[in-house]
C-alpha cells in the first residue's frame, strides 16, 4: 500500500505526509530499498547498507521536517559523485572496488538538510555515453519500454526517479547527460550554470563542461534541491560567489508571462522526429494563447557546437583520466612488470572501448602537430558560440527547444555507430559549451507511449527564469 502511494508522490508531498505522520522516514526508506531490490531495470550499482539506521535517526527529529521540505527524503546519487564509505565505481572496472574516502560538497549540503543517500546509480562509464549502454555493470533499461535505452550518462538516476525507486537523484551533465535521460524517461532534469554548484567530490570527465544537477518528478522539487545544493565552495575554485536566490519562492510568486521566449530556428531542422516537433509546436501555440511573447531567433554558430564539444571534451578526458594508472587510482597489477607493460595491462583491462576511444582522440587532439589545428580552433569557436548566446539573451529571457532529436531509441541500435550516438547530444551540448543553464521538462508522449521532453535555456545564473516557466507549463498542461 505504501509503495503504491509513494509512486504518486513528489518530494513536497512526501514531506507533507511525514509532517502529518502518515508514515515514518524509516518506512519510506524501507519501501524504496525493497523496490530497488525487486527492480530489473539495473538503475543502481550499490545501495547504502546504513540507510535504515540513518532513517531511524532522522525519525527522532521529525519535527524539523516542518521547516525543511527535504528532511527525511531518500536520495539516489550517480556513481561518479563521492559519498564517504560507499563505493564510487564510475561504472568502470577500473574503480570497481574503490570506496570513497570523503563526501562531495553537494551531497554534504543535502544531507545537512536531512536527506539520506539510499544508493549509487548506474551510468555510462566515467560519464561517457548517451545511452547508458557503456557501463561495466550493464545497461539501464527504460521503465516505459525495457527494450529501449534510458539515456546517458545519468540514465540510472533518471530511471530511479521515473520508476519511483527514489524520489530524487543527482546526475552530472557534460553535454546533456542530465537533460537527455530526463527527456527519455519523462522526468524533470536541471543542468545548472557552470559554477552554480560545486563539483568537488565528482570524478572529473571534462572539467570545463561538467556540472552536477538535480533530477526529480516536478519542477518545484528541483527548485528545492537546487537551492540547497548551490553556492560557493572553497574546495572548488570554479564555484561562483553569486548569491543563491530562493528558487521555490520565486517560481511561485513570479509571473512567467513577463518573460520573452525565443525559438532558435537552428534547433528545428528536419532531423527532429515528427512527433517531437509537433508536441513542441503545440506547446509554443499554448504559450502564445496565454499571452506569452514568442520571438524567432538565430544562433548561427550553434551548428558547430557538437563538433566543438567532441574536440574539447576528449582533450579534457585524456588529461583527467591520466591519473588512473594503477598506482594511486585504478586497477593495480601485482606482477613484476616493466613500466610500459604495466600501463598496457592496467589501462587496457580497466577501460571500455568507448573510454579508450575518447582518450585516444583527446591525446591526438592535444599532440604537438595537431593542437593548433584542432584544440585551439575549437576554443575559438567556443567563444563564438558563447557570443551568440550572449546576443540572443539580450533580446529574450528564455530559449525553447527540443531536448533530443528522437524519443528513446532501441538498445543496441547505435552501439556500432559512435557518430550516430554522438548526434543524440546535438541539442544539449551548446549549453555546456557556453556554460549556461538548461531544464528538461516532460510535455507529452509518442504514440508508442515514450516520453517527449522540452528544453528551456537561460543565461548563466538565471535558473529562476527556466524554473518559473517550467513550473507554469507543468501546472497548466
Catalytic positions are 78, 153, 177
The DSSP symbol for 266 reads G
Q: Give the containing element (helix H, strand E) for 402.
A: strand 398-402
Main-chain dihedrals φ then ψ at residue 45, nearest 5 degrees: -90, -40
Q: Tell the residue number behind the cell numbers 539515456, with chain if given.
A: 151
Contact 221, 476 (CB under 8 A): no
Q: Which helix (H) or strand (E) holds 314?
A: helix 305-320
Neighbours of 257 (CB within 10 A): 14
Cβ atoms < 10 Å from Cβ of 403: 29
Q: How far is CA 455 from the centre of its chain?
A: 13
DSSP 8-class letter at 452 = E
Residue whose C-alpha is closest to residue 317's, from 120, 122, 124: 124
Element housing 75 (H / E): strand 74-78
Beta strands 116-121; 44-47: pairing state: antiparallel
Q: 3-class SS at 404?
A: coil
Amino acid at each position: 500500500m505504501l509503495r503504491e502511494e509513494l509512486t504518486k508522490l513528489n518530494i513536497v508531498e512526501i514531506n507533507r505526509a511525514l509532517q502529518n505522520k502518515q508514515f515514518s522516514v524509516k518506512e519510506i526508506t524501507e519501501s524504496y530499498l525493497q523496490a530497488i531490490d525487486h527492480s530489473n531495470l539495473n538503475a543502481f550499482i550499490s545501495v547504502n547498507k546504513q540507510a535504515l539506521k540513518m532513517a531511524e535517526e532522522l525519525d527522532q527529529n521529525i519535527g524539523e521536517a516542518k521547516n525543511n521540505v527535504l528532511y527525511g527524503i531518500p536520495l539516489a546519487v550517480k556513481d561518479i559523485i563521492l559519498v564517504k564509505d560507499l563505493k564510487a565505481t564510475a561504472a568502470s572496472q577500473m574503480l570497481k572496488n574503490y570506496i570513497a574516502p570523503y563526501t562531495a560538497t553537494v551531497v554534504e549540503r543535502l544531507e545537512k538538510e536531512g536527506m539520506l543517500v539510499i544508493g549509487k546509480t548506474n551510468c555510462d562509464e566515467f560519464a561517457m555515453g548517451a545511452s547508458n549502454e557503456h557501463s561495466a555493470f550493464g545497461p539501464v533499461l527504460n521503465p516505459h519500454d525495457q527494450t529501449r535505452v534510458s539515456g546517458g550518462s545519468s540514465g540510472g538516476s533518471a530511471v530511479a526517479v521515473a520508476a519511483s525507486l527514489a524520489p530524487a537523484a543527482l546526475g552530472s551533465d557534460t553535454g546533456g547527460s542530465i537533460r537527455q535521460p530526463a527527456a527519455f524517461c519523462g522526468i524533470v532534469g536541471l543542468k545548472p550554470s557552470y559554477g552554480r554548484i560545486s563539483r568537488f567530490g565528482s570524478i572529473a570527465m571534462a572539467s570545463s563542461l561538467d556540472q552536477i544537477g538535480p533530477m526529480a518528478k516536478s519542477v518545484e522539487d528541483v527548485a528545492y534541491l537546487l537551492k540547497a545544493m548551490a553556492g560557493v565552495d572553497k574546495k572548488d575554485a570554479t564555484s561562483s560567489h553569486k548569491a543563491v536566490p530562493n528558487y521555490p519562492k520565486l517560481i511561485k510568486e513570479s509571473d512567467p508571462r513577463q518573460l520573452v521566449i525565443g525559438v532558435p530556428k537552428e534547433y528545428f531542422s528536419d532531423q527532429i522526429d515528427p512527433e517531437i516537433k509537433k508536441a513542441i509546436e503545440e506547446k509554443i501555440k499554448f504559450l502564445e494563447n496565454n499571452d506569452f511573447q514568442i520571438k524567432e531567433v538565430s544562433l548561427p554558430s550553434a551548428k558547430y557546437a557538437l563538433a566543438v564539444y567532441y574536440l574539447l571534451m576528449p582533450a579534457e578526458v585524456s588529461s583527467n583520466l591520466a591519473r588512473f594508472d594503477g598506482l594511486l587510482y585504478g586497477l593495480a597489477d601485482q606482477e613484476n612488470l616493466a613500466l610500459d607493460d604495466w600501463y598496457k595491462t592496467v589501462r587496457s583491462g580497466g577501460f571500455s572501448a568507448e573510454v579508450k576511444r575518447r582518450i585516444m582522440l583527446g591525446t591526438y587532439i592535444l599532440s604537438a602537430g595537431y593542437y593548433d589545428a584542432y584544440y585551439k580552433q575549437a576554443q575559438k569557436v567556443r567563444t563564438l558560440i558563447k557570443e551568440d548566446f550572449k546576443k540572443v539573451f539580450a533580446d529574450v529571457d528564455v530559449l525553447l527547444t527540443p531536448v533530443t532529436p528522437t524519443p528513446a531509441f532501441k538498445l543496441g541500435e547505435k552501439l556500432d555507430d559512435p557518430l550516430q550516438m554522438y548526434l543524440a547530444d546535438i541539442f544539449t551540448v551548446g549549453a555546456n559549451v557556453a556554460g549556461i543553464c538548461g531544464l528538461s521538462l516532460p510535455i507529452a508522449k509518442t504514440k508508442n507511449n515514450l516520453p517527449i521532453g522540452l528544453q528551456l535555456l537561460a543565461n548563466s545564473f538565471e535558473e529562476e527564469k527556466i524554473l518559473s516557466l517550467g513550473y507554469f507549463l507543468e501546472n497548466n498542461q
